[in-house]
Structure formats: structure tokens, C-alpha cells
Amino acid sequence: MLEVKNLFAKVEEKEVLKGLNLSVKAGEVHAIMGPNGSGKSSFSKILAGHPAYTVTSGEINFEINFKMKNLLDLETHERALEGIFLALQYPIEVPGVSNFTFLHQAFNSILKHHGSEEMSEPDFRNFVKEKMKLVQMREDFLERPVNVGFSGGEKKRNEILQMAVLSPRLALLDETDSGLDIDALRIVAEGVNKLRTKHNAIILVTHYQRLLDYIKPDFVHVLSEGKIIKSGDSSLALKLEKQGYDWLL
Amino acid sequence: MNLINGYDKIENILKDNSSWKEFRTTSFHDFQKMGLPTRKNEEWKYLNIKPLADHFFTATLTGGNKASLETESIVSKELNKDFYNLVFINGVLNKTISDMNELEKNIDLHLMEDVVAGKKPNADSIIQFFQKNFKKYGNKEENAFDKLNQAFVGQGIVIEVKPNTVLKRPLHILNYISLEGGLSLACHTQVYIQIGSGSNISVIETFSGQNDSRYFSNSKTEIFLNKNSKLNYLRNQSDSSQAFHIGRTKIYLDEFSTLNSLSYQVGSKLSRHNLDVYHIQKNSTSVIDGIYLCHKEQAIDNHTDIDHVVGECQSSQTYKGIIKDKAKAIFNGRVHIRHGSLKASSQQLNNNLLLSSEAEVDSKPELQIFADDVQATHGSTIGQMNEEEIFYFESRSIPRTTAIEMLSFGFVNELIQKIEVNSISNWLGQKMLATLRNL
């Protein structure tokens, strides 16, 4: 589904990725771990198309309609339309735009892209209410401005709600566990697990192993200085938890 | 000068009585003496009105054709059935498409032309009451456009709302200007509203016109809120993109009266609205909001002047604007707390969102505080669209243009949501969405 080959990228003048390779298939969960400043968050933002980053060389190919296409040819919103979703480490607050309007607009953009009819407000309301149960969010959050006045945990749950509504093929969860207490972590992780299918893939970007107690990855990669220096199965994460990153660097 | 064209015909048309005639003549001479303001005048420092002076206009009172059936049908299609509509086309009340019967059951209406001709002594006394108030409280000079308005007036309406009246629907006064045969019109109107004590009404004034037509609208509205009365006021300036718009609203607040005002300005090539609010008795409250959306080479000017004549009153202002392309916006917010107006409370906030590097905004708070023991705050911000917010929308599959539209709507929507009357907030919200789509 995703093939990243020898990817180099920079933000402003700083090189953040230096020859990253990664291959992800449908149904897989990959965890990308690594020390601070290793390029983890940069990688997920580059996949989603954040305008601050420039890819200087290498390829990102993504499967669209059973064909591998160059993701770099697509605008940010076009990538989202094709099923790429980034749950942000620090979800943005948007005063004046309600959660409902935001989700409804996003959802209908995707329906339209696939040639389906847009969903009416009442139908969408019922649809989204079901999804809210998944992350134990109260309905009144729909009428509130996006993320404004939400606690850290509520913001992260809101990201997973968006994921549930938009049902992406490739979800990138950037430090979704950061700032969560144990209850919130469990709710978020359970939400993600329920969204796991054999048709979609998930990339978890995380500094700590604790999220991986709840969402079991098929592969664990260690990122350092802009490239993957070690890959393994979930036992690698446990080893990192015990021994830290130093033995690899 | 182009703007006083046709003045000599007025006397014959109106056959006005002596008191109005004298008033008119004096105003006309005052206008000639003053001439149009230039940017050397502090009050007009940021707005260049030269483009207005360059055009030739015919005053609606002295020329201009009757509204065609086609115009009537265009205007009537736009009318919202949730309002009591009072429609003026080219300065003339159109009884066919106005809700005359229902309105006359609830309020007293007097046409300005009848008042000027001396046929309506009751209404004339209402106007005299306003003039007395202006002399008593209005410590401001009238400008050249006030004089011009007074020299050409003969169209408009005097409205009397009896005490303890609750209007079920908002009163919508629509001023529509069309070309009807090609003349560029100048429409000088006056509206007086006397709101009886204990009454609760909503008033919308809309200024609009034939798409892309050039005309000049110069209006004056005066409203008096008697004791314990309440007014929700929306001034909707949605004039044609080639129009020139100058307007003044004066509102007097008696004891325990409440004003919620929203000045919505999106139309015209060049526009200026002066809003003067006088807290003349204790315990009156005003909430004064404004929205302006300008693009291309538009200039939109809002001048507010909140006068705490007495103490123990609250005023709070929030003006928000979005400025795009080479457009220019001006906000000048004066708060005047007079000597001895103890325990006055006044807040002012002006937020601007610039959507291009060539857009301009001049934001100027003017606090004149002559009393102790008062609370007065002001703030002004000028910012740009947040790229991280746009990315957030894009990463959720919403295209950039839609994201900017939604974020712009969000920026000003708070003020639409504050409108207490649902039929008005829904109506204006829809209009604003359409405007933002074309911004």
C-alpha cells in the first residue's frame, strides 16, 4: 500500500529525513519509535503533505485504485481524499467552526470524491453519534468549536473520532499517546483497535512503548537521524523500553 | 458640484411648509460652505471620498423613474416572509410589495414627504423631539453629508411604536436602488423611530440595489428608546459593488433601555457608517457589534461614537472584519465618558483578518474619559490566516479555498450567533456564507 524509497526531506534549511525506507501493506500496524528529534513527527507530516516540508529526493508511492501512484504529485487535501489521515500530536483549535460542521464538510468532500451523493445533516448527525460512542465522547462536543477548550485527552479522542468518521486506508497517529492519562489512553487505543481492519494500515509514531501495550504492532522500526536503523517485531519495543535507545545509536 | 444637482427643483416638488423650507435652505448653504471633507480633516483621514465626487448623480426626489414591474418582482422575491417588510425603491415607498396592513396594525407610519408638506403634525413633533435631543446631547458637528441629506430629504419614514408594543416579527426597512432608465441616482433618506416605553422590537435596515449599478445612498436614521424598551437593530449594508454609501445612525437610550446593534457592511465600492449612541439616562445598556467583509478595491469605514452622557451605563463594542485583495477597512471607535458619568463601563474590541498582503486596515480607538471611577477597555488586533489551521482542514480532505471560507466564516460567526432573533441570525448567516464564497 505504501512504499517509501530513500526519502530525503528538509524543513526550512534543516535536513530531517536522510534516506528513509519503509514498506507497509494493508492490514498491518507499524510503530515508528525513536529519540526526540529523530524525524518521527516530520515523517508523518511529510506523508500527509504539510507545506513546511520539502522532499529533496526519494519516492513515496501509495496505492490508489490498485495502482502505485506518486504521492508527491497530490495536494494535501487530495492525499486525504485518497485515504491518508494524520492524527496530530497537537490538534489545532479552530474557534468559530463547530466540530459538526468540520466533520460534515470533510466527510462530504470524501463522498463527493468517490462520486457518491453528499449526506444530509440529519443523517450525518446519526452517523457521527454512533462513531462518538467508539471514543466515549458526549454528543454536545459536536456543537462546540473544533478542539477549543478541550482537554488534552478530549483533543486526542476527537482526532480518533475524525479517523472513525473518515475511515482512512492509511492512518498516521503522531504521538497520540502523549499527554494522556491511563484512562484516556485506554479509550483512545480501544477506539483505534476497533478501526483496525485487513483493508487499512496504521503507522503509530511514538516515543514510548506504553501505547503499544494496547495497540499491538506487527512491526517496530527505530528511527534515528532521519532514517530507520533497526526493524523488528513487537518485542523490539519492549527491549527499547528496558534498555533505551543508546545501544542502537 | 455634481452632488447638489437638481436642488432648485425641490421646492416645486415638495411644496414644503416654512419650517422645513428654512431648515432645508440653511443645510444647503452649510453644505456649500463646508464642501466635501478631505483627508486633511481628522474624521476623514483614512477614507478618500474623491471617487464619489467625480460622478454625476440625480437626486431621487427630483428625478429617476418609477420602479418597473421587473424591479418590483426582483425585490419582492428577495423578501423574507419572517419579517414585516417596508420597501422603498429609489426612495419611494412601494405599498404593493410592503406588508402595509400588518404593519399599520402594530405601529404608526408617516411618510416623510407628508411630514415635510406639513400634513403630519404628530410626526413633525417626533422629529422636533429628535432635534431637541440632538441639540441637548449631540456635542458633535454635523458633517457635509448630514447637511446634504437634510437639503435633499423628502423621502423616508417616521415610525411611532406605542408603549408596551411587542412586535412579533422584525420590521425590515429595505432601501433598494435601481437604474430604471440609466440615471445614476442619489438617494437621501431619513428614518425616525420612536420606541415607546416597555416595547420590544427588532429592526433591520437593508441597503441594496441593482447588481453592479452605480448610485449614491446617503441615509440618516434616528432612534429613541424610551424607558424599559429594547431594540435589536441590524443595519445591513449590501449595496451594489459600484455604489457609494454614506450613512448615519443615531440612537438615544433612556433609563433601563437595551440596545443590541449589529452593523453589517459588505457592499459598495466606498462606504462609511457613523453610529452614534447616547446613553442619556442611567442603567441603559448597549451591545454594539460590527462585521465588515471587503475585497477588490473596496473601502469600508465604520465610525462609532458611544457617548456616556450619564454614569451607571454599560456599552460593549465588538467589530470584526475580513479584508482581501487591495481592499481597505477603517474602524474608528470613539468612547466618550462625560464629566461626572461615574461608574460607566465600556468595552471595545476590533479584530481584523487580512487575507492578502495588499489589504489595509486602519484601526483607531479613541477614548475620551472625563470621569473617575469608570471601567473602560479597548483592544485591536490585525492578523492573518493561520497556515496550521488551513493544513488541519486540508489534511481532513477539505480543499484550501473551502478551508479559508470556513475559517473566515468562523472568524465573524460569533457575532451572528449573538443575534437574539433566530429569523434574523439564520437569514444573515446565509447571506454571509454567500458573500464569503465570492470574496
pLDDT in tens, B74-94: 999 989 999 999 999 999 999
- What pLDDT, on the 0 to 100 scale, is given for residue B93? 94
Partners of B394 on chain A (C-beta within 8 Å) are 49, 75-77, 80
Of the residues A44, A105, A162, the best mutation for testing chain B's interface (the one with the most B CB atoms within 10 Å of its CB) is: A105
Cα distance between residue A235 and residue B1, in whole Å: 88
Q: What percent of chain B has pLDDT over 90?
A: 85
Residue for cell digits 482512512? A168
The answer to whether the beta carbons of residues B289 and B233 sit under 8 Å apart is no
User: By mean pLDDT, which of A180-184, A201-205, A234-238, B178-182 is the weakest?
Assistant: B178-182
Residue-wise pLDDT tens digits, B209-241 = 999 999 999 999 999 999 999 999 999 999 999
Q: Which of B394, B410, B413 minimises the CB distance to A77?
A: B394
B16 pLDDT more than 80: no
Asked whether B251 and B232 are in contact (CB, 8 A), the reply is: no
Q: What CA–CA distances, in Å, run from B293 to A101, A198, B46?
A: 22, 49, 17
Phi, psi of A31, deg, nearest 5: -110, 130
- Percent of chain A exceeding pLDDT 90 equals 86
Torsion angle of alpha carbons B22, B28, B34, B35, nearest 10°?
A: 180
Is there a contact between B406 and A97 if contact means CB atoms under 8 Å apart?
A: yes
Confidence label for A36 from pLDDT (cuts 50, 70 and 90): confident
Confidence of residue B139 (pLDDT cuts 50, 70, 90): low
Q: Do B432 and B238 meet the contact criterion of CB atoms below 8 Å apart?
A: no
Determine the pLDDT at residue B181. Answer: 72
pLDDT of residue B398 exceeding 80: yes
Q: Do A145 and B399 touch (CB under 8 A)?
A: no
- Nearest CA distance, B395 vs chain A (angstrom): 5
Going by DSSP bridges, is the β-strand pair B155-161/B108-111 parallel, antiparallel, or unpaired? antiparallel
- Report chain B's terminal Cα–Cα distance, integer Å: 34
List the beta bridge partners of residue B333. B304, B365
CB contact under 8 A, A105 and B406: yes
First to last CA, chain A: 30
| A 162-191 residues inside an 8 A Cβ radius of B | 162, 166
CB contact under 8 A, A105 and B388: no
Task: Kindly report the nearest CA distance between residue A221 and chain B, in angstroms.
Answer: 25
In three-state form (DSSP H/G/I as H, E/B as E, the rest C), the secondary structure along chain B is: CHHHCCHHHHHHHHCCCHHHHHHHHHHHHHHHHHCCCCCCCHHHCCCCCHHHHCCCCEECCCCCCCCCHHHHHHHHHHCCCCCEEEEEECCEECCCCCCHHHHHHHCEEEEHHHHHCCCCHHHHHHHHHHHHHHHHHCCCCCCHHHHHHHHHCCEEEEEEECCCCECCCCEEEEEEECCCCCCCEEEEEEEEEEECCCCEEEEEEEEEECCCCCCEEEEEEEEEECCCCEEEEEEEECCCCCCEEEEEEEEEECCCCEEEEEEEECCCCEEEEEEEEEECCCCCEEEEEEEEEECCCCEEEEEEEEEECCCCCEEEEEEEEEECCCCEEEEEEEEEECCCCCCCEEEEEEEEEECCCCCEEEEEEEEEECCCCCEEEEEEEEEECCHHHHHHHHCCCCCHHHHHHHHHHHHHHHHHHCCCCHHHHHHHHHHHHHHHHCC
pLDDT at A210: 87
ipTM of this predicted complex? 0.96
Question: Using the beta-carbon criterion (under 8 Å), do B394 and A106 form an inter-chain contact?
Answer: no
Chain A nearest-CA residue for B391: A50
Angle between helix axes A99-113 and B400-417 (nearest 10 degrees) is: 150
Kindly list the residues from chain A whose CB atom is less than 8 angstroms away from the CB atom of residue B408. Answer: none
Contacts of B414 in chain A (CB under 8 A): 95-96
- Find the CB nearest A80 among B388, B389, B395: B395
The pLDDT of residue B106 is above 80: yes
Give the C-alpha separation, B204 to B427, whole Å: 11
Q: Do B394 and A162 touch (CB under 8 A)?
A: no
Instruction: Find all residues with CB under 8 Å of A244, minimum gap 6, and list them.
Output: none
Query: Comparing C-alpha atoms, which of B321, B277, B276 is closest to residue B299?
Result: B321
- Residue in A49, A76, A96 nearest the CB of B411: A96
Determine what percent of chain B is predicted with pLDDT higher than 70. Answer: 99
Cβ separation of A86 and B395 shorter than 8 Å?
Answer: yes
Which of B400, B409, B413 faces A77 most closely, judged by CB atoms?
B400
CB contact under 8 A, A97 and B407: yes
Mutate to test the interface with A, among B318, B351, B396, B407 (most CBs of A within 10 A): B396
Q: What is the pLDDT of residue A240?
A: 87
Q: How far is B328 from chain A (nearest CA, A)?
A: 24
Segment B302-325 shows an average pLDDT of: 97
Say what the alpha-carbon torsion angle B264, B266, B268, B270 is, to the nearest 10 degrees: 80
Give φ, ψ of B175 to 5 degrees: -105, 110
- Compute the average pLDDT of residues B372-384: 96
Residue B125 has a pLDDT of 94
Q: Which residues of A touch B386 (CB under 8 A)?
A: 92
pLDDT tier, B19 (very low <50, low <70, confident <90, very high otherwise): confident
Specify the 3-state DSSP secondary structure of A77. helix
Task: Please check the confidence at residue B336 and state whether its pLDDT lies above 70.
Answer: yes
Secondary structure class of A194 (helix, strand, coil): helix
pLDDT of B1: 64
Phi then psi dihedrals of residue B435, to 5 deg:
-65, -45
Over residues A110-119, the mean pLDDT reads 96
Q: Is A113 touching B (CB cutoff 8 A)?
A: yes
Give pLDDT, residue A77.
97
A174 bridge partner residues: A205
Rounded Cα gap, residues A237 and A231, in angstroms: 10
**Interatomic CA distance for residues B361 and B290, integer angstroms:** 15
Give the cell for residue A43: 515523517
What distance in Å separates residue B417's CA from the closest CA in chain A? 10
pLDDT number for residue A106: 98
Put simply, the answer to whether A166 touches B387 (Cβ < 8 Å) is: no
Angle formed at CA A199 by CA A198 and CA A200, multiple of 5 degrees: 100
The string over B269-294, giving b where at least 16 C-beta atoms fall within 10 Å of a residue's C-beta and e elsewhere, is bbbbbbbbbbbbbebbbbbbbbbbbb
**Cβ burial, residue A206 (10 Å; 0-12/13-18/19+):** buried
Residue A67's pLDDT band (cuts 50, 70, 90): very high
* A114 interfaces chain B, CB cutoff of 8 Å: no
What is the value of pTM for the model shown?
A: 0.90
Query: CB–CB of A96 and B396 under 8 A?
Result: no
pLDDT range class, residue A208, cuts 50, 70, 90: confident
Q: Mutating which of A90, A92, A116, A173 best tests the B interface, going by the most B Cβ atoms within 10 A?
A: A92
Mean pLDDT taken over chain B: 94
Please choose, from the candidates B124, B151, B173, B142, the residue with its C-alpha nearest in 3D space to the C-alpha of residue B62.
B151
Q: Are B154 and B112 in contact (CB under 8 A)?
A: yes
Q: What distance in Å separates residue A244's CA from the closest CA in chain B?
A: 33
Q: Classify B423 in phi/psi space as left (phi over 0), alpha (psi -120 to 50) or beta.
A: alpha
Chain B residues with CB inside 8 Å of A145's CB? 410
- Mind listing the pLDDT tens digit for each residue in A136-171? 999 999 999 999 999 999 999 999 999 999 999 999
What does pLDDT average to over chain A?
Answer: 94
Candidate from A48, A51, A109 with C-beta closest to B398: A109
With contacts defined as CB-CB under 8 Å, which chain B residues touch A79?
Answer: 395
β-pairing verdict for A53-64 and A2-11? antiparallel
Please tell me which residue of chain B has the smallest CA distance to A103: B396
Contact B410 A109 (CB under 8 A): no
List the grid coordinates of A130. Answer: 454512533
- Give the pLDDT score at A128: 97
Query: In this complex, how many residue pairs, one in chain A and one in chain B, have their CB atoms less than 8 Å apart?
Result: 76
* Residue with cell string 530525503: A8
Query: Cβ of A145 under 8 Å from any chain B Cβ?
Result: yes
B346 vs A227, B288, B374, B407, CA distance in Å?
A: 58, 11, 8, 29
